[in-house]
A = this chain, B = another copy of it.
Amino acid sequence: MNKVRQLDDVIEDLKDGATIMLGGFLSVGTPLKCIEKIVKKGVKDLTLISVVNTYPGKYDLYETGGFDLAPLFANNQVRKMITAHTGTCAEAVQAMKEGKLEIEFFPMGSWIEKIRAGGAGLGGVLTPTGIGTLMEEGKKVLEINGKRYLLELPLRAEFAFINGYRADPLGNIEYRGIGLNTNPTIAMAADYTVAEVNEIVGVGDIDPLRVGTPSVFVKAVVQGYTLAERQDVFRDMWVKTGRIKVPAAAE
């Protein structure tokens, strides 16, 4: 079974109104090519599930302008976002104000457990996080041995777009560095999981213990930026957004 597909073909299947999950955390471990194509296709009314919003800094990577998640909001493609944080995206905050965008917040640890539960076939998890806060609203509270917990229900999506380092054609995914973050959990919780990777290698080239997401969770493998290209993008982005100082002698 060869799961390698052309990204254009995959995005063709994505329709207005879809619920999608995106792996990554402020662009680290984020499937940038997938997002670029979703932006270019212009699909609307998305429910977007991402742990945080866009990278906090202006950078122009996509030909549409912008970087990371920001263009999805600039283009009004998102109707609802399910996240732990949206403050990095001025476009999203503006859309909230105008009533064009609904944001549903979950504490980060609850957010990831909801998705894990969705992938794991669990009916929900009980968490002490959020007790005594607005998070209690509309949720079941259970008391166990005198301690109160919120019931957080599972979360799934039609599509998950994850980012990895290497993939084989069977769909085994190896991760790299802190790019791991939300990707292995999200990979489990969608009807159709698409893995964007730096490199597609042969079956057997990934050490079984280095497989972070087993093939069973992945439906399509697409070629993303090569590692060298991705390093160039991030170097340029971090320098231009002031995150890495260029030594005076080099300016």
Contacts and interface: CB of A to CB of B under 8 A. Distances in A.
A212 B227 CA distance: 24
Given A177-B209, A209-B175, A209-B177, A147 B123 contact: yes
A123 B124 contact: no
A176 B210 CA distance: 10
A127 interface: yes
A171 B127 CA distance: 28
Interface string A110-121: 000100010011
Q: Classify the secondary structure of A's interface with B.
A: mixed
A209 B153 contact: no
A140 B209 CA distance: 37
A142 interface: yes
Interface string A130-173: 00000000000010100101010100000000000000000000
A87 interface: no
Contact of A149 (B120, B123, B142, B176): B123
A117 B117 CA distance: 12
Contacts of A120: 113
A244 interface: no
A125 B122 contact: yes
A85 B151 CA distance: 30
B128 A123 contact: yes
Nearest to A120: B113
A149 to B, nearest CB: 4
Interface string A41-59: 0000000000000000000
A123 B153 CA distance: 14
A180 interface: yes
A144 B124 contact: yes
Contacts of A128: 121, 123
A188 to B, nearest CB: 14
A179 to B, nearest CB: 10
A126 interface: yes
A126 B127 contact: no
Contacts of A142: 123-124, 151
Contacts of A153: 144
A121 B120 CA distance: 18
A127 B121 CA distance: 7
A134 to B, nearest CB: 19
Contacts of A144: 123-124, 153
Which one of A113, A122, A144, A153 has the highest number of Cβ atoms from chain B below 10 Å of its Cβ? A122
